[in-house]
Amino acid sequence: MALEYAILLPVLLLMILGALDVSRMIWLQVTLERAVEAAARCAAINELTCGSAAQTQDFAASQIFGTTIDAAAFVSASASCGISVTGTVPFTFIIPWVQTRKITLSAVACYPVP
């Protein structure tokens, strides 16, 4: 019985770490998408809070919960669809055996100006 555990334990640990990494990546992507959507909406309808690009970037960074992302990771611009906000953040996997340990997550949202 100890032999079976010795064979299965590394595989089981790798699967658990992989599931944790994928969960972290999905959570960060969803959080980033939520932040850019909120910032695009704020820039389009609330000039007091998000009147400039810098204010919109700061607002987007404040919408991130559970981690800290610098305001420079967000870009706000006028587009044909209205106000567009783009967020880009690097993600590093915990598992050391992944070939590409760093990937870039990004999200774009556009909100029409009333």
Find the distance separating the first CA and the last CA of the chain, reported in whole Å: 68
pTM, two decimal places: 0.86
Whole-number mean pLDDT of the chain?
Answer: 91
CA 62, CA 65: separation in Å to the nearest integer? 8
Confidence at 25, pLDDT banded by 50, 70, 90? very high
Contact 25, 95 (CB under 8 A): no
Among residues 57, 24, 22, 28, the alpha carbon closest in space to that of 42 is found at 57
